[in-house]
């Protein structure tokens, strides 16, 4: 798999430089998050009927291997590391794949995609009716509200299970600007000028409201302003992240109720490619050939979500403009970044 061609220093690329066990509170936080993961997926696997009558035996084998596989990370953490989030993610997903459960959140994603598509016409109608000064405020607050649907963060997992994922309520609660590392004004000035970008490659994040009510409306608006948009989604499942196949289905479903979006899709002004990724973070040293080809034609890279924009690739420089767009939903990430919990990030770095 190729290295993303838009990395400024590809031979020095590091997904993340953050040793998550350096501080005692961070060490306890992350090891607990991953150690308790099996208990969070078991109900979803049983609901999905995976394993049939043989489920209990398979589950016991998975638990035994999972606990055994966590031990080297616990030992390394006790010595101060380094331990990186992406290493724990690789271990977790690799074990799910090996036991035949690559997508525990399949039904959750399907339900959340359907619920978000029900809201999509109303959200788009409000955006289209807004004046130029108000439109991007709606789009960005909609993205941050949608990005709350994250089943990889303890805070948002709790909110999801407590029924606190109402999009309109979350939208109303997004804090006002200025946001953390807020380069939004410079980005919108570039978009509104004669030197706007030709193509944006957007690395998407979660399914449900994040993709449907956050990423798609922003892609739609960029396309309206003359920018071709390529949405890059995971090639394979990871937590509740949307995959390229799921995103393509969602895009066509939204286009069925949105004539403008339908025209953009039919005219190849909005497209979907697999990123090559299979984790909630993204390793840009291993992207799909299709993704890399689209990166070569892009003059704007958009990294969406805390995993892709902050936990990984926060310090990386690129050969083109980069927009990091995320909501900080994890207390440990907030401490590391120097931000507040549930603070929006809209960092724009011109090349």
Looking at the domain assignment, is residue 334 inside a domain? yes
Q: What are the two backbone dihedrals, phi and then psi, of residue 166, each rounded to the nearest 5 degrees?
A: -65, 120
83 and 134 both lie in a single domain: no
What is the C-alpha separation between 259 and 264, in angstroms, rounded? 9
Give per-residue pLDDT as tens, 197-226: 999 999 999 999 999 999 999 999 999 999
| Token representation of residue 25 | 């509170």
The C-alpha atoms of residue 301 and residue 298 are separated, in whole angstroms, by 7
254 and 120 in one domain?
yes
On whether residue 3 sits in a domain, the answer given is no
Whether residue 326 sits in one domain with residue 233:
yes
In this structure, are 135 and 34 located in the same domain? Answer: no
Distance CA 162, CA 45 (A): 20
In this structure, the answer to whether residues 77 and 215 fall within a common structural domain is no
- Please indicate, yes or no, if residue 155 is contained in any of the structural domains: yes
- pLDDT tens digits for range 233-267: 999 999 999 999 999 999 999 999 999 999 999 99
Residue 204 covered by a domain: yes
Which uninterrupted H or E stretch holds 35? helix 24-35
Give the pLDDT confidence of 256-296 residue by residue, as tens digits: 999 999 999 999 999 999 999 999 999 999 999 999 999 99
At 50 the pLDDT is 74
> How far apart, in whole angstroms, are the C-alpha atoms of residue 185 and residue 154?
32
Q: Of the candidates 31, 65, 98, which is a domain's last residue? A: 98
The CATH number linked to 265 is 3.40.50.10880
Residue in 124, 103, 144 with CA at minimum distance from that of residue 242: 103
Q: Tell me 280's DSSP state.
A: S
pTM of the model: 0.97
Q: Name the token pair of 213.
A: 């009510």
> Do residue 120 and residue 265 come from a single domain?
yes
Beta strands in the chain (DSSP E): 199-203, 228-233, 270-274, 300-304, 321-327, 344-349
What value does the mean pLDDT take over residues 298-323?
Answer: 97
Same domain? 271 vs 132: yes
Tokens representing 219?
């892609």
Residue 84 token pair:
């990186």
Rounded-to-10 torsion of CA 191, 326, 90, 41: -130
The DSSP line for 61-119 is HHHHHHHHHHHHHHHHHHTT----HHHHHHHHHHHHHHTT-S-TTHHHHHHHHHHHHHH
Q: Which of 35, 64, 98 is the last residue of a domain?
A: 98
Do 283 and 327 fall within a single domain?
yes
Do 74 and 156 have their domain in common? Answer: no
pLDDT of residue 53: 78
Residues 166 and 313 in one domain: yes
Among 322, 315, 305, 324, residue whose Cα is nearest residue 182: 324
- 22, part of any domain: yes
∠257-262-268 over CA atoms, to 5°? 155
Q: Residue 95: which pLDDT band, with cuts at 50, 70 and 90? A: very high
Whether 196 is in a domain gets the answer yes
- Strands 199-203 and 321-327 come out as unpaired
Half-sphere exposure of 298 (CA within 13 A, CB side): 31
Residue 202 pairs in a beta bridge with 231, 302
What's the total number of domains in the chain? Answer: 2
Here the tokens at position 287 are 């992207």
The residue segments making up the domain with residue 286 are 112-349
142 and 83 assigned to the same domain: no
- pLDDT of res. 137: 97
Sheet arrangement for strand 228-233: 270-274, 228-233, 199-203, 300-304, 321-327, 344-349
Q: 126 and 88, same structural domain? A: no
9 domain-assigned: no
Q: Which pLDDT score, from 0 to 100, does residue 39 have? A: 96
Question: Is 10 domain-assigned?
Answer: no
Distance set, CA 184 to CA 120, 177, 276, 285, 316 (Å): 24, 10, 29, 28, 19
């Amino acid at each position: 798999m190729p290295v993303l061609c838009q990395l400024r220093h590809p031979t020095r690329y590091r997904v993340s430089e953050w040793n998550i066990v350096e501080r005692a509170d961070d060490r306890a936080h992350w090891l607990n998050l991953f150690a308790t993961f099996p208990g969070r997926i078991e109900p979803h696997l049983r609901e999905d009927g995976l394993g049939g009558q043989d489920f209990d035996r398979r589950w016991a084998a998975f638990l035994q291997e999972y606990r055994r596989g966590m031990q080297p990370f616990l030992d390394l953490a006790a010595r101060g590391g380094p331990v990186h989030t992406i290493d724990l993610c690789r271990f977790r997903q690799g074990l799910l794949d090996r036991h035949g459960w690559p997508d525990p959140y399949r039904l959750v994603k399907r339900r959340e995609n359907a619920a978000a598509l029900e809201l999509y016409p109303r959200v788009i109608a409000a955006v289209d009716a807004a004046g130029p000064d108000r439109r991007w405020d709606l789009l960005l607050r909609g993205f941050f509200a949608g990005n709350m649907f994250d089943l990889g963060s303890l805070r948002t997992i709790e909110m999801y299970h407590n029924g606190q994922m109402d999009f309109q309520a979350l939208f109303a609660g997004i804090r006002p600007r200025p946001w953390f590392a807020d380069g939004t004004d410079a980005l919108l000035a570039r978009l509104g000028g004669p030197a706007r970008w030709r193509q944006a490659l957007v690395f998407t994040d979660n399914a449900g409201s994040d993709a449907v009510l956050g990423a798609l409306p922003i892609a739609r608006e960029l396309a309206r302003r003359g920018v071709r948009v390529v949405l890059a989604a995971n090639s394979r499942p990871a937590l509740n992240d949307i995959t390229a196949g799921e995103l393509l289905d969602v895009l066509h479903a939204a286009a069925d109720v949105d004539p403008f979006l339908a025209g953009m899709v039919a005219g190849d002004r909005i497209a979907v490619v697999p990123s090559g990724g299979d984790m909630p973070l993204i390793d840009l040293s291993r992207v799909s050939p299709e993704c890399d080809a689209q990166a070569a034609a892009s003059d704007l890279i958009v990294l969406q979500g805390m995993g892709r924009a902050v936990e990984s690739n926060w310090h990386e420089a690129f050969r083109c403009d980069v927009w990091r767009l995320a909501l900080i939903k994890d207390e440990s990430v907030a401490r590391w970044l120097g931000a507040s919990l549930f603070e929006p990030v809209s960092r724009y770095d011109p090349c």
